[in-house]
Protein backbone atom coordinates (compact mmCIF):
# COMPACT_ATOMS: atom_id res chain seq x y z
CA UNK A 1 0.00 0.00 0.00
CA UNK A 2 2.74 2.45 0.98
CA UNK A 3 4.72 1.40 -2.08
CA UNK A 4 1.74 2.16 -4.33
CA UNK A 5 1.28 5.60 -2.75
CA UNK A 6 4.94 6.40 -3.19
CA UNK A 7 4.80 5.26 -6.80
CA UNK A 8 1.67 7.34 -7.37
CA UNK A 9 3.26 10.41 -5.80
CA UNK A 10 6.36 9.93 -7.90
CA UNK A 11 4.19 9.66 -11.02
CA UNK A 12 2.44 12.93 -10.17
CA UNK A 13 5.77 14.69 -9.57
CA UNK A 14 7.19 13.32 -12.80
CA UNK A 15 4.10 14.36 -14.75
CA UNK A 16 4.20 17.83 -13.19
CA UNK A 17 7.84 18.24 -14.10
CA UNK A 18 7.21 16.99 -17.62
CA UNK A 19 4.24 19.29 -18.20
CA UNK A 20 6.09 22.22 -16.65
CA UNK A 21 9.12 21.60 -18.84
CA UNK A 22 7.01 21.40 -21.97
CA UNK A 23 5.82 24.97 -21.47
CA UNK A 24 9.32 26.33 -21.05
CA UNK A 25 10.74 27.91 -24.18
CA UNK A 26 14.38 27.28 -23.43
CA UNK A 27 16.30 25.66 -20.64
CA UNK A 28 19.45 27.02 -19.12
CA UNK A 29 22.66 26.19 -21.00
CA UNK A 30 23.75 24.00 -18.08
CA UNK A 31 20.57 21.89 -18.25
CA UNK A 32 20.92 21.53 -22.01
CA UNK A 33 24.54 20.50 -21.61
CA UNK A 34 23.61 17.98 -18.92
CA UNK A 35 21.08 16.45 -21.30
CA UNK A 36 23.76 16.41 -23.97
CA UNK A 37 26.17 14.62 -21.65
CA UNK A 38 23.51 12.00 -20.92
CA UNK A 39 22.86 11.62 -24.65
CA UNK A 40 26.55 11.20 -25.36
CA UNK A 41 26.95 8.68 -22.52
CA UNK A 42 24.13 6.59 -24.00
CA UNK A 43 25.64 6.89 -27.47
CA UNK A 44 28.97 5.60 -26.17
CA UNK A 45 27.24 2.73 -24.34
CA UNK A 46 25.26 1.91 -27.46
CA UNK A 47 28.39 1.46 -29.58
CA UNK A 48 30.20 -0.38 -26.80
CA UNK A 49 27.36 -2.90 -26.53
CA UNK A 50 27.34 -3.21 -30.31
CA UNK A 51 30.95 -4.32 -30.15
CA UNK A 52 29.93 -6.94 -27.59
CA UNK A 53 27.05 -8.19 -29.74
CA UNK A 54 24.21 -7.14 -27.41
CA UNK A 55 21.36 -6.13 -29.73
CA UNK A 56 18.87 -5.37 -26.95
CA UNK A 57 21.30 -2.99 -25.25
CA UNK A 58 22.02 -1.23 -28.54
CA UNK A 59 18.31 -0.69 -29.07
CA UNK A 60 17.78 0.50 -25.49
CA UNK A 61 20.60 3.05 -25.55
CA UNK A 62 19.57 4.23 -29.00
CA UNK A 63 16.09 4.94 -27.63
CA UNK A 64 17.67 6.96 -24.84
CA UNK A 65 19.74 8.94 -27.35
CA UNK A 66 16.56 9.80 -29.27
CA UNK A 67 14.75 10.92 -26.11
CA UNK A 68 17.60 13.16 -25.03
CA UNK A 69 18.16 14.61 -28.51
CA UNK A 70 14.47 15.40 -28.92
CA UNK A 71 14.36 17.05 -25.49
CA UNK A 72 17.40 19.14 -26.38
CA UNK A 73 15.85 20.21 -29.68
CA UNK A 74 12.73 21.39 -27.87
CA UNK A 75 14.68 23.34 -25.27
CA UNK A 76 17.35 25.08 -27.35
CA UNK A 77 17.31 28.87 -27.25
CA UNK A 78 15.92 29.90 -30.66
CA UNK A 79 18.34 32.78 -31.16
CA UNK A 80 21.59 31.13 -30.10
CA UNK A 81 23.95 30.40 -32.99
CA UNK A 82 25.57 27.43 -31.25
CA UNK A 83 22.14 25.93 -30.66
CA UNK A 84 21.27 26.37 -34.32
CA UNK A 85 24.54 24.66 -35.30
CA UNK A 86 23.74 21.69 -33.04
CA UNK A 87 20.31 21.08 -34.62
CA UNK A 88 21.39 19.16 -37.75
CA UNK A 89 23.66 16.93 -35.68
CA UNK A 90 20.89 16.17 -33.18
CA UNK A 91 18.55 15.40 -36.07
CA UNK A 92 21.18 13.09 -37.58
CA UNK A 93 21.56 11.22 -34.28
CA UNK A 94 17.79 10.75 -34.17
CA UNK A 95 17.69 9.59 -37.79
CA UNK A 96 20.45 7.03 -37.30
CA UNK A 97 18.90 5.71 -34.09
CA UNK A 98 15.59 5.31 -35.85
CA UNK A 99 17.42 3.16 -38.42
CA UNK A 100 18.68 1.02 -35.55
CA UNK A 101 15.14 0.77 -34.14
CA UNK A 102 13.79 -0.32 -37.53
CA UNK A 103 16.31 -3.14 -37.59
CA UNK A 104 15.22 -4.30 -34.15
CA UNK A 105 17.13 -6.35 -31.62
CA UNK A 106 16.98 -9.62 -33.57
CA UNK A 107 19.30 -8.42 -36.33
CA UNK A 108 23.01 -9.19 -36.21
CA UNK A 109 24.45 -6.49 -33.89
CA UNK A 110 27.18 -5.87 -36.46
CA UNK A 111 24.52 -4.64 -38.89
CA UNK A 112 23.17 -2.09 -36.42
CA UNK A 113 26.65 -1.00 -35.39
CA UNK A 114 27.15 1.20 -38.48
CA UNK A 115 24.14 3.48 -37.86
CA UNK A 116 24.86 3.37 -34.12
CA UNK A 117 28.39 4.63 -34.76
CA UNK A 118 27.00 7.36 -37.03
CA UNK A 119 24.56 8.38 -34.28
CA UNK A 120 27.44 8.54 -31.80
CA UNK A 121 29.47 10.71 -34.18
CA UNK A 122 26.50 13.05 -34.61
CA UNK A 123 25.99 13.22 -30.83
CA UNK A 124 29.67 14.06 -30.35
CA UNK A 125 29.47 16.84 -32.92
CA UNK A 126 26.27 18.21 -31.36
CA UNK A 127 28.01 18.30 -27.97
CA UNK A 128 30.76 20.52 -29.38
CA UNK A 129 28.11 23.10 -30.19
CA UNK A 130 26.13 22.56 -27.00
CA UNK A 131 29.25 23.09 -24.90
CA UNK A 132 29.67 26.47 -26.58
CA UNK A 133 26.24 27.58 -25.34
CA UNK A 134 27.82 28.49 -22.01
CA UNK A 135 30.35 30.77 -23.68
CA UNK A 136 27.77 32.65 -25.70
CA UNK A 137 25.72 33.61 -22.64
CA UNK A 138 22.53 32.11 -24.03
* pLDDT at 134 (0 to 100): 66
Q: Domain extents for the chain?
A: 27-136
- Going residue by residue through the chain, which has 138 residues, state the pLDDT in tens, using 9 for 90 and above: 544 554 444 444 343 444 444 444 568 899 999 999 999 999 999 999 877 888 888 999 999 999 999 999 999 988 889 999 999 999 999 999 999 999 988 888 788 889 999 999 999 999 999 999 865 544
Let me know how long the chain is.
Answer: 138
Residue 2 has a CB neighbour count (10 Å cut-off) of 6
pLDDT of residue 136: 53
Q: Give Cα 60 distance to the centre of its chain.
A: 12
The span from the CA of 103 to the CA of 52, in Å, is: 17
Spatial contact of 69 and 77, defined as CB atoms under 8 Å apart: no
Report the pLDDT value the prediction gives residue 19, as an integer from 0 to 100: 42
| pLDDT at res. 113 | 87
Q: Give the pTM.
A: 0.76
Q: Are 130 and 38 in contact (CB under 8 A)?
A: no
Tell me if 131 sits within 8 A of 33, measured CB to CB: yes
Please work out, in degrees rounded to the nearest 5, the angle formed at the alpha carbon of residue 64 by the alpha carbons of 62 and 69: 95
What is the SS3 assignment for the chain?
CHHHHHHHHHHHHHHHHHHHHHHCCCCCHHHHHHHHHHHHHHHHHHHHHHHHCCHHHHHHHHHHHHHHHHHHHHHCCCCCHHHHHHHHHHHHHHHHHHHHHHHCCCCCHHHHHHHHHHHHHHHHHHHHHHHCHHHHCC
CATH number, span 27-136: 1.20.120
Amino acid sequence: MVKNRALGALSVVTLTLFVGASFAQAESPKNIQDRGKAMLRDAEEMVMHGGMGDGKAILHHCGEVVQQAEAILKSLPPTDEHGKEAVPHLQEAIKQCKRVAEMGDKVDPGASLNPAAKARAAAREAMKHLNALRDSGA
